[in-house]
Amino acid sequence: MEVQIKETLERLLAQEDTDGDKKITVEDQGPKSFLLENIQGETYKVEGTYFLSNLLQELVLAMETGAETAEIPIAHLEEAPTVRISRMIKDYYWDGLTRTMDERGIAALLSDTKNESLEAESILRVYVPYKDDLALDYYMQLKHEMPLEVIQLPKKVSPKYVKSLNHKPGILSLKLNEDEGDVSGEPFVVPGGRFNEMYGWDSYFESIGLLLDGRTDLALAMANNFQYEIKNYGKILNANRSYYLTRTQPPFYSSLIREVYEKTGDRKWLQSQLETAIKEYETVWMIEGKRLTQNGLNRYLAEGIGKPPEAEEGHFHHEIGPYADAAGMEVDTYENQYASGEITNPDLDSYFVHDRSVRESGHDTSYRLEGNCADLNLVELNAFLYKYETDFAELILKEFENTFTIGDRNYDSEYWFQKAAFRKKKSDQYLWNDASGLYFDYDHHKKEQSTFVSATLFTPLWAKMCSQEQAERVVKNGIPLLKEKGGIASCTEESRGPISKERPQKQWDYPNGWAPHQMMIWKGLQNYGFKNELQELVYRWLFMITKNAVDYNGTIPEKYDVVSATHKVFAEYGNVGTEFQYITKEGFGWMNASFQYGLSLLHPSYIESLNNLIPPEEVF
C-alpha cells in the first residue's frame, strides 16, 4: 500500500505508543488495532503488537529514504517472525554494525561516548603502531581536516606505558589498504551499542553469521584485522582501544581463517594467515611462566598495572571498600590514591591481575573467576588451543602437502597432532572429573579442581577434544544441570551462590545465557551426533529470541535471562541492544549470528512451531 509516511507514523504512534518510548510493545496499552490508509483512501486493518511494530519499522525505513510517500509491502507486515528477524539481520544489521578506521569511520568514532574531551572540543586520539608508516602518514594528513590527536606508539609497549595512557585513552589503528594513493580501512563488525570497536572473540562468532549470510568479505576482513593486530600489537586485542594493549581474548583465529578459506579457496591468503596464527600461538599462548603453566596447560594472564581504566565508576567499590574503611578514608579517595600510586596495596595488585585476566577471558564478570582467574587452567581455553593445534595439523596435511615452512623452521602435521594429543592427555588428567562425568577448571596454584559448574564444560565437544564416551557423559550429566526455558545458563544457581547487596549479580552467571556458549554447545552436539539434544537446545534459544523480538519491537540484545526467557536482565552494565527508538539498526553482533546459525541447524517443522510461538515445553 502506498501511504503518506509522516502522517501515518504520527497517527500510529499517537494511538499505539502509549508509554512514549517510540516503540510498540506488549507493554503499550493502545487498542492494538490500526487502520492503515493508502493515498487513494483504501484501508487495511493491522492488528496485534507484532504486526503494528512491523508497520512502525517499515514506516521508519521508508522515512529514512527522504520520500514523503512509500509503498509498504503487506507481505513485510505479515512476515513470519523467523523470516523477518533473519531478513533484518541479513539486510540491515550487519551493515549497521560495520565500521572502518578510515576517514568515514573516524567521523563516526568522534561521537563515541568513550571519548574524553580535550579542552572545549571533542578530539579523538588515534594510536598508531611504531612500524606502520602508512597509518601514521594517513592520520597525520587527516588531522588537518578532523579533530584528531595522532600518537605513535613506542617500539616496546610496556604495562607501565599503557598505564600512563589511562587518562588519555584512544582508539588503536587497524589495517589500512592503499590503492593508487587512495587509502581505505579494512572493515570490521562491532558488537553494537556502546561497543563501537573490534572485539576479539565477538568477531569470530559474528563471522559465523556473516558467512551464512553470504558476507564472506566481512569475515575475511576481520581475519585480516586480526593479522594486523598480531603483527603490530603482538596479540589479538580484547578490542582496539589503548587500554587493551596488554590484553588478548579467547583464541578463535584458526577457526576463523579455516572457515573463511572454505568459502574462498584462496591458498595464498591461507598461507599468510596460517603463518600469523602459528606466531600468535607460540608467542602469546606458549611462553612458559606467562599464559602457559608448569603443568602444560594454559591460563589467561593479562598484563597491566592497577585497576582497568574502562570499568565504570564505582564498579570496584565492593573490593576496595574494606581497605578504605580500615584506612579511615572514603572509598573514592582511597581508590584515586591507589590508582595514582600514593597508596600501595599488594592485595589489590593481585586482585587486579585476576580481574584483568577475567576480562581477557571474555567472561567479564563471573564468580567462577572472581579473584582467581590467573590461577585457573580453564576448560574452554585449553579446548580452544586444542582446536588451534588440530586445525594447524589438518590444514598443513590437506592444503600444504604436509610441509609448512616459516623462516628456517618446518612444521608437519605430526608435530601439531602430537601437541594436541599432549593437551588432551593433560586435560584428561587435570580438567576431566571421572566421578561426575564433567569437565572442571583446575587451580594450578592450589593444585585442585574447581567445583563450579559452568556452560564452558561443553567446549571440549566443540573442539572435538573428548572421546565419544566422555561426550556422552557430559551431555547426560551436564545438560540437566544447565538447561533452562531459554537454553543453557552460564552456570548453575548453586555454583553462582547467593546474591545480595554485598554480593551483586555478575552478568556471566546464572540466570543469564550468552550466544557464544549456545553456539559452541550446538556445534559440539553436532560433532558427536546428539541430534535430539541439538534440536531442543537450538529451539529453546531461538524461541526466546523470537518471542522477545515479537513482543518488544524487534529487540535483539546482548544477553538474556534464560530462566525467565527474557531480555530484561538485571546485572552490571545493563543489556546492550535494548536502547533504541522506532527500529533497531544493529541488533547485537553475536546474537544476530546465533539466530542465523540456529535457523541453519533447526528442522523445518520446528521453525514452523517457532513462527507460531509454541513454547518449548509444548514441543519437547
Q: Give the separation between CA 616 and CA 620, rounded to whole angstroms.
A: 6
In a domain, 408, yes or no: no
DSSP 367-427: TTSTTTGGGEE-HHHHHHHHHHHHHHHHHHHHHSTT-EEETTEEE-HHHHHHHHHHHHHHH
Q: Are residues 489 and 614 in the same domain?
A: yes
pLDDT given for residue 313 in this prediction = 83
pLDDT given for residue 226 in this prediction = 98
pLDDT over 50 (residue 323): yes
- Please report, rounded to a whole number, the percentage of residues in the chain having pLDDT higher than 90: 91
pLDDT over 90 (residue 122): no
In a domain, 274, yes or no: no
Domain count, the chain: 4
Helix axes 200-212, 515-527, angle to 10 degrees: 60
Residue 172 lies in domain: 102-185
pLDDT band, residue 119 (cuts 50/70/90): very low
Q: Are residues 63 and 136 in the same domain?
A: no
| Catalytic one of 213, 380, 441, 558 | 558
pLDDT band, residue 502 (cuts 50/70/90): confident
Residue 434 designated active-site: no
In a domain, 406, yes or no: no
Last residue of a domain, one of 337, 353, 375: 375
| pLDDT tens, position by position, 523-549 | 999 999 999 999 999 999 999 999 999
Distance of CA 305 to the CA centre of its chain: 25
Helix axes 253-264, 216-233, angle to 10 degrees: 140
pLDDT given for residue 600 in this prediction = 98
Last residue of a domain, one of 335, 351, 375: 375
SS3 of residue 34 by DSSP: strand
In a domain, 370, yes or no: yes
Q: Per-residue pLDDT averaged across 512-528, rounded?
A: 98
Residue 364 designated active-site: yes
H/E stretch holding 45 reads strand 43-47
Q: Per-residue pLDDT averaged across 356-370, rounded?
A: 96
Q: Are residues 49 and 110 in the same domain?
A: no
**Least confident segment among 120-124, 168-172, 215-219, 372-376:** 120-124
In a domain, 311, yes or no: no
Average pLDDT of every residue of the chain: 95
Q: Per-residue pLDDT averaged across 180-203, rounded?
A: 95
pLDDT over 50 (residue 403): yes
Query: Which of 110-114, 165-169, 441-445 is predicted most confidently?
Result: 441-445
Q: Per-residue pLDDT averaged across 125-152, rounded?
A: 96
Q: Are residues 60 and 163 in the same domain?
A: no
pLDDT over 90 (residue 574): no
Q: Are residues 59 and 110 in the same domain?
A: no
In a domain, 93, yes or no: no
Q: Are residues 591 and 496 in the same domain?
A: yes
pLDDT band, residue 114 (cuts 50/70/90): low
Last residue of a domain, one of 160, 185, 210: 185
Q: What is the pTM of this model?
A: 0.97
Q: Are residues 61 and 128 in the same domain?
A: no
In a domain, 259, yes or no: no
Q: Are residues 74 and 106 in the same domain?
A: no
pLDDT given for residue 113 in this prediction = 56
In a domain, 201, yes or no: no
Q: Are residues 63 and 165 in the same domain?
A: no
- Please report, rounded to a whole number, the percentage of residues in the chain having pLDDT higher than 70: 98
| Catalytic one of 364, 441, 509, 533 | 364
Q: Are residues 163 and 55 in the same domain?
A: no
Q: Per-residue pLDDT averaged across 480-505, rounded?
A: 96
| pLDDT tens, position by position, 62-110 | 999 999 999 999 999 999 999 999 999 999 999 999 999 999 999 878 8
pLDDT given for residue 116 in this prediction = 52
Q: Are residues 491 and 614 in the same domain?
A: yes
Nearest in space to 25 (alpha carbons), one of 515, 541, 584? 584
Q: Are residues 21 and 129 in the same domain?
A: no
| pLDDT tens, position by position, 280-304 | 999 999 999 999 999 999 999 999 9
State yes or no: cis peptide before 169, omega within 30 of 0: no
